[in-house]
Amino acid sequence: MSTYLRIGLGPEHYALDVERVREVSEVRAVVPVAGAGPHVLGVCNLRGEILPVVRLDGLLRVDAPPPRRIAVVEDGGRRAGLAITTAAEVEELTLAGDRHEGLYGPLLAGAVLHEDRLIGVLDVGAVLDAVQRRDA
Amino acid sequence: MDERLLAIFQEEAIERLDRMSATLLAAESAGAEGEAVASLFRDVHSIKGSAGMFGFAEIGELAAGIEAVLEPARERESLDGAQVPVLLRAVDAIRAATEDDVDDVPGTLAALAAAAGPPAAEVPVAEPSPPPAGASPALARTLRVNADKVDRLLDTVGETALHRGRMEHLVGHGEGTAEELEEELERGHVLVAELQDAVLELRTLPLGTITGALGRAVRDVAVSTGRQVRLELRGEDTPLDRSILEGLSEILVHLLRNAVSHGIEPPAEREAAGKPDEGRIVISAAEREHRVAIVCGDDGRGVPAEVLARARAAGSLADLLAAPGFSTAEEVTELSGRGVGLDAVKRHVESLGGTLAIESTPGAGTEVTLLLPVTLAVGEVLVLERGGVRYGLPLTSVREVLHRERLHELGGRPAIETQGELVRLVDLADVLGAEAAALAESGPAVVVVSGGRAVAVACDALHGDQETIVKSMGPLLAGVPGYLGASVQGDGTIALLLDPAHLVRTGGDAAARPRTTPPVAPLAPKVLVVDDQFTVRELERTILEAAGYRVVTAGDGRAALAALDREGDVACVVSDVQMPGMDGLELLEQIRTQPARAALPVVIVTSREDERSRTRGADAGADAWVVKARFDQQALLDTVGGLLAGR
């Protein structure tokens, strides 16, 4: 049993291990970085730090409206803001029981059926790897 | 052995000895437990390890004696106060030995042996207790700083506090005249500049920090090529930012190799030319107009006249010699064919915002000049805008700002005329591959110079120049070509800092293939060295760099994992076992859990002849094992070379 932060991306729900989440902030001015690949929205100024902002919609192939929040995640020395949709669906929850590992592609550590809703558990490291590889 | 490393060894040892003395004195009456005993053990173990590497037999024996006494105490997590006096005596003996006084060594060793007593078999072993809950796993990055520099910073901070008080008085009580206020504001301006200088100075180190291994590198090459060479170093006190020093020793080693194997003639040839048998290579460093010039000059045969003629056609000698694949020797020798080429040297220098120049006189010698910024962290940039995004260009690379007129076009490639010269004109958006509307009919163009080549970069608008702090865009974006980093403007917006070398390179072929970058030439394998002791790290670094490897370092397992993520192209890891935070075996286990790094070669270096660690290391997938007590550089090089050859 672990604690996750639930995030909303358009119509879908995902979960992030809270250990990997540093904070959730309002979306702020993002400056595009040409050459950084299709999954980087750009960089933003988070209290003086230059933070890369990752668009999850393309990576997860989800149709999502423009992001409204940024979930700041860390993996080793890497740090990035994941652009997500809604504020209302950000809550802490505890997921238990059966995961369906490997069923939903390399970016998910698994998926959980919770209160009749399928929630994808994101593998933060794998997501950042894909961004860094600049996968199409 | 290099004196600077020795000085650092002494400094580190004394720090550890001081800590041990304090802990032992506190333990004298009531004994010591848990963490205090563990700390004593760590310190003495580190001293033993580096003493072994530096060949200080007495210090090594004393440290081993202390370890033998502490070992059972560590097992049961408690040290008896009665054992403290002999340990204190041994600590003092080590201290004396670092100053070459070894009179008390035999007596102390005998006392330690008596205190260690029979093997620890009959000592009752307590259940190991879990680590304290509040212990913080992540270690802060540390910086060894000259105390004078900190004092200077503190002085300025004091001045700043006074300034604030005066401002409060002037503004808060409404008593200041406009003139007084202006004066005080001006003082504040000066103070901020002083603070900035003082803090930046904390990051600088003298060039001498990295030149220690150069003598050996020259000797090795000279011996294997049958040359007689003397190396002179000048201006070793010249300060440079740590981040610039990091990759510099590798570059200097390469330049020296070139100088010996391509420059200096064999003794017979020198004699025939009326030169002394022994060739001379001088590395000199000096500050030059806010930059540092490092010059590597030799009195060898120089570059042939026909190469100089070709250089005039190619633009400059540096451009010609640094062209990928160029070599002046008829056959590439084993030595200079290895490691980075001059093209990689040039790219590295340019990526630091510096330039490379080469001058040569046939028959008389060659001089290579690296002109480097003193620091990477702060610089003046010209802020420009394209497609709604702000970009910064280091002012040192800006030759002039033009209005786009007097355009000429040939084969779809526009050029602009300036100072009687035609310069290629490229759209900044094309060079970067950025989305932007077409440029307006007229507007500004900035002439950017790097490595002797120029390109005019067209943009929408200019926003003047400003002093800026360079920030990294983080490991995720570090591999994106074209940027030196980013900076936050006064209004909180971000300006992306452009790499002038990339603009000039890519701008040159912009019309042919406007949105691609040139392929990167293969570089020497990169080795990650992990050790919590600066001396050991630097020793291993100099050994590996002198052999032509690129080296990055980390102070513990966690930093090593971060370095692996950041660097991306590490080909081999050389790690210590005992480190605070995450130790070497944990690091190894972590590396092996990452599928992409399952086959990454890992060499474990340790002073420990401990079967248990070895078994755990082997289980976790260590590829090789080098024992520090028998540490010799050839063993390390053979091990690393063997592992990399097997890939």
> What would the pLDDT profile of B142-186 be if each residue is shown by its tens digit?
566 778 888 888 888 888 888 888 888 888 777 778 888 888 888
- Residue B557, Cβ density class (10 Å: 0-12 exposed, 13-18 middle, ≥19 buried): buried
Nearest to B476 among A45, A48, A128 (CB): A128
Q: What is the pLDDT of residues A55-99, one digit of tens each?
A: 888 888 888 888 888 999 998 778 999 998 865 555 666 655 555
Nearest to B565 among A36, A52, A78 (CB): A78
Most B-contacting residue of A78, A82, A123, A129 (CB-CB within 10 A), to test interface = A78
- C-alpha span between B480 and B474 (Å, rounded): 11
> What pLDDT sits at residue B458?
92
- C-alpha span between B551 and B526 (Å, rounded): 5
SS3 string, chain A, reads CEEEEEEEECCEEEEEEHHHEEEEEECCCCECCCCCCCCEEEEEEECCEEEEEEEHHHHHCCCCCCCCEEEEEEECCEEEEEEECEEEEEEEEEECCCCCCCCCCCCEEEEEEECCEEEEEECHHHHHHHHHCCCC
Write phi, then psi, for B130 (nearest 5 degrees): -65, 155
Q: How close is the nearest chain A Cα to the Cα of B433, in Å?
A: 6
CB atoms < 10 A from the CB of B87, how many? 26
Q: Is the pLDDT of residue B283 over 90?
A: yes
Judged by average pLDDT, the poorest of B110-114, B332-336, B429-433, B499-503 is B332-336
| Chain B partners within 8 Å of A40 (Cβ) | 476-477
Q: What is the pLDDT of residues B323-361, one digit of tens each?
A: 665 655 444 443 343 334 677 788 778 767 677 889 999
Q: Do A45 and B493 touch (CB under 8 A)?
A: yes
Q: Do B477 and A36 touch (CB under 8 A)?
A: yes
Q: Is the pLDDT of residue A1 over 90?
A: no
DSSP states along B357-388:
EEEEETTTEEEEEEEEES-SSEEEEEEEEETT
Better-predicted residue by pLDDT, B294 or B116? B294
Q: Is B479 on the interface with A (CB under 8 A)?
A: yes
> What pLDDT sits at residue B336?
42
3-state SS assignment for residue B394: strand
- Chain B residue with Cα closest to A41: B477
* Confidence (pTM): 0.47
Nearest to A45 among B433, B477, B488 (CB): B488
**For chain B, what is the radius of gyration of the CA atoms?**
29
Q: How close is the nearest chain A Cα to the Cα of B581, in Å?
A: 14
Q: Do A79 and B476 touch (CB under 8 A)?
A: yes
Q: Is the pLDDT of residue B298 over 90?
A: yes
Under 8 Å between Cβ of A54 and A67:
no
| Chain A partners within 8 Å of B476 (Cβ) | 40, 52, 78-80, 128, 131-132
